[in-house]
Amino acid sequence: MAITRDNVLHVAKLARLELTETEIDRMQRDLDGILEYVNQLSELDTTDVPATTQVAVVAAPFRTDEPHRSLPHDLALSQAPRSSSDGFAVPAFVDEG
Amino acid sequence: MTDVLDLSIADLADQVQKGVLTARQVTEAALARVDQTRDLNALLYVARDAALAAADAVDAKRKAGAPLGKLSGVPIAIKDALCTTDAPTTCASKILTRVGEGNAGGTDPEHGFRPPYDATVVARLRAADAILIGKANMDEFAMGSSGENSAFGPSRNPWDKSRTAGGSSSGSAVAVAAGLALGSLGSDTGGSIRQPAALCGVVGVKPSYGRVSRYGLVAFASSLDQVGPFARDVKSAARLLEVISGRDPLDSTSAELPVGAYEAACSRDVKGLRIGIPQEYFGEGLDPAIEASVRAAIASLEQAGCTVKPVSLPHTKYGIATYYILATAEASSNLARFDGVRFGLRIETAKSDLTSLYGKTRNAGFGAEVKRRILLGTYVLSAGYYDAYYKKAQRVRTLIKRDFDRAFEAVDAIAVPTSPTSAFRFGEKVDNPLAMYLADVFTLPASLAGIAGLSVPCAPTPATSTQPILPVGLQLLGPAFAEELLFSLAAEVERRLGSVPRPPIS
């Protein structure tokens, strides 16, 4: 296989997915098959072909520089699984010791 | 009473405006049909109370003598990827279901995320006096071609309940095919409107990139996503597109271009239009019964005075590989926002640090296909692979786009099958991701090029000993912002072939 178990673990870590053992095996197999398929793109010589990053027909205009109301604080927090009075609650991630 | 649900959108809106029908009558009929067709699993959430209240408001407005909108009293279903303030929005994912009282989390769309704002397209439907009856089932985060990736069970095809409805906008297609709504909205990233429309026998439109605002659409692949309508007939779809289209200051990718007269275009003569037939869409893998039906539909355009000629789109076969690199790369970035902090599911213990909160929440909340695509997208963007995969695919995207640019120098529109097969059975492809991706072979190239596309029903495949008659879609493709032209052609096909019969409702 072109994709190793370590490759899967590496991208899972980058993607913040804690896969189970069974999932790691399954994903290794699936990704290997898909990457083998997409490798057909290497048949094409694209040396002088520019990349297409977006397909908009007209350029995105600038918005007017006017202040406007944003989402009220309590509404923004209303769907959070955990919040404190002034924001979203998360586990401590800075060592304060 | 149920026959009001067989009217076209224009006729129904007209009767509500004239007071022949009340919006409440229509809404009650639609809700009764919803109850009658629960086994199809078209809707994840029925907005019963909100729909009746909206209907009463429309009726009151009429009584007060105020002018009514173009969708007065028209029952509409909304793909659950579009934000609605009065109904939960889950993208058919456990990760957008709340952990609340009496709910362990992740099992019930009723406990889904409640958006603080409406998607622009939803707001435009409401402003046109439409009645939103509920949120339509879909493949989780619009990733899939059969509806089987919904965390809440797949929609069933009303023509044969042992078959899928296509996807990812499966519930939107089923809702219209089974008549619980006269129209619906879906989203199309690589075929998610056109393919289920074809498999369920309804009209589905993928507008040009930039035609419709995506504000409030949960993003999957931002260089491809477009919102578009489903309806039972071409003119009804045209009216819906007219209502939802146009520049929106809240979406900088929405184009500052005038909205076309799509409904009027449905009665325009198509004589003299040049239709291109690319051989690449008629080769191996195409079901012969589909080919026969599509060729008959093309012949009907020839009878209407169109010129049919061959064109070539030589990079068609690279569409799937290109799409599954670019779309997954964009998805891996877009779906980073689901982290258990601001909305939806959160899995943590007293000992959780931030990294394990993310990792556990995301692994518990996302289904297998979504994880697969996030991993693939992360891989093709990661150091050492970016050039070989992501950059390469962006270059091939240019080649695919150039194919269409060249073809449209010689023809006005292109006619092809929407899907290589009719509706397939549950389980047929679900364990083989590549086989599922191949179902989109005919819809992906147009998405990559950002052009306009539409699927209109043509003659269904005949019944055999193993299957009933099943719908077939003719896909019409035009240059970016050529939607009017596609509506003219699709309406001509519809007039000449007659509309597809309705599926049996039992």
| Minimal CA separation from A87 to chain B, in Å | 10
Mean confidence (pLDDT) of chain A: 91
Report, at the CATH architecture level, how domain B2-328+388-497 is classified: Alpha-Beta Complex (3.90)
- Return the pLDDT at B385: 94
Distance CA B225, CA B478 (A): 17
DSSP secondary structure string for all residues of B431-463: T-HHHHHHTTTTTHHHHHHT-EEEEEEEEEEPP
What residue of B is the nearest CA neighbor of A9?
B375
Q: Which two tokens stand for residue B476?
A: 């019409």
ipTM associated with this complex: 0.95
| Minimal CA separation from B110 to chain A, in Å | 14
Q: How confident is the model over B152-161, as pLDDT tens digits? A: 999 999 999 9
Q: B43, B171 in Cβ contact below 8 A?
A: yes
Taking an 8 Å cut-off on Cβ atoms, the answer to whether A44 and B399 are in contact is yes
Taking an 8 Å cut-off on Cβ atoms, the answer to whether A56 and B344 are in contact is no
Q: How confident is the model over B98-125, as pLDDT tens digits? A: 755 444 445 677 789 999 999 999 999 9
Is B213 a residue of the active site?
A: no
One-letter-per-residue 3-state SS of B178-203: CCCCCEEEEEECCCCCHHHHHHHCCE
Taking an 8 Å cut-off on Cβ atoms, the answer to whether B480 and A57 are in contact is yes
Farthest CA pair distance, chain A: 57
Distance CA B224, CA B334 (A): 13
Which residues 298-327 in chain B show a CB within 8 A of chain A? Answer: 315, 317-318, 320-322, 324-325
Q: B104, B209 in Cβ contact below 8 A?
A: no
What residue of B is the nearest CA neighbor of A45?
B396
Amino acid (one-letter) located at B5 = L
Taking an 8 Å cut-off on Cβ atoms, the answer to whether A46 and B399 are in contact is yes
- Return the pLDDT at B241: 98
**C-alpha closest to that of B43 among B112, B100, B106, B144:** B112
Backbone torsions φ then ψ of A39, nearest 5 degrees: -60, -15
* CA triple B396-B398-B403, angle to 5 deg: 100
Q: How confident is the model over A18-48, as pLDDT tens digits? A: 999 999 999 999 999 999 999 999 999 999 9
B452 CB near a chain A CB, below 8 Å?
Answer: no
Which residues 215-244 in chain B show a CB within 8 A of chain A? Answer: 223
Backbone torsions φ then ψ of B56, nearest 5 degrees: -60, -35
Q: Which two tokens stand for residue B99?
A: 């952990």
Which residues of chain A have a CB within 8 Å of the CB of B321? Answer: 37-41
Mutate to test the interface with B, among A3, A7, A18, A53 (most CBs of B within 10 A): A18
Q: B132, B126 in Cβ contact below 8 A?
A: yes
Mutate to test the interface with A, among B395, B399, B405 (most CBs of A within 10 A): B395
Closest CB to B375 among A15, A20, A55:
A15
Strands B75-79 and B183-188: parallel
Closest CB to B398 among A18, A49, A93:
A49
Peptide bond into B168 cis (omega under 30): yes
DSSP secondary structure string for all residues of B322-347: HHHHHHHHHHHHHGGG-SSSSSS---
Q: Which two tokens stand for residue B165?
A: 């409805």
One-letter-per-residue 3-state SS of B27-53: HHHHHHHHHHCHHHCCEEEECHHHHHH
What residue of A is the nearest CA neighbor of B335?
A15
Taking an 8 Å cut-off on Cβ atoms, the answer to whether A52 and B378 are in contact is no
- Return the pLDDT at B353: 92
Distance CA B148, CA B154 (A): 5
Q: Where are the domains of chain B?
A: 2-328+388-497
Is B254 a residue of the active site?
A: no
- Return the pLDDT at B468: 93
Please state the length of chain A: 97
Is B187 a residue of the active site?
A: no
Which position has the token pair 């150039």?
Answer: B402
| Low-confidence residues in chain B, pLDDT < 50 | 1, 101-105
Distance CA B381, CA B328 (A): 10
Taking an 8 Å cut-off on Cβ atoms, the answer to whether A81 and B395 are in contact is no
* Domain at A5-43: CATH code: 1.10.20
Which residues of chain B have a CB within 8 Å of the CB of A65? Answer: none
- Return the pLDDT at B338: 97
B396 CB near a chain A CB, below 8 Å?
Answer: yes
Q: Is the pLDDT of residue A2 over 90?
A: no
Taking an 8 Å cut-off on Cβ atoms, the answer to whether A44 and B374 are in contact is no
Q: Is the pLDDT of residue A85 over 50?
A: yes
CA distances from B251 to A63, B215, B226, B247 (A): 10, 6, 12, 8
Taking an 8 Å cut-off on Cβ atoms, the answer to whether A33 and B371 are in contact is no
| Minimal CA separation from A81 to chain B, in Å | 6
Taking an 8 Å cut-off on Cβ atoms, the answer to whether A80 and B341 are in contact is yes
Handedness of CA B418, B421, B427, B433 (dihedral sign): negative
A88 three-class SS: strand
Report the side by side order of strands in the sheet with B131-136: B43-46, B131-136, B75-79, B183-188, B226-231, B203-206, B452-461, B470-478, B413-417, B274-278, B307-311
**B475 CB-near residues (< 8 Å, 6+ apart):** B194, B198, B415, B416, B417, B418, B442, B443, B446, B453, B454, B455
What is the distance, to the nearest Å, from the Cα of residue B346 to the centroid of all Cα atoms in its chain?
29
Taking an 8 Å cut-off on Cβ atoms, the answer to whether A35 and B318 are in contact is no
Q: A93, B354 in Cβ contact below 8 A?
A: yes
Please compute, for residue B289, the number of CA atoms within 13 A of its CA located in the half-sphere on the CB side: 14
Q: Which of B172, B192, B332, B419 is catalytic?
A: B192
Q: Where are the domains of chain A?
A: 5-43
Which residues 133-192 in chain B show a CB within 8 A of chain A? Answer: none
Distance CA A16, CA B355 (A): 7
Of A63 and A51, more confident: A51
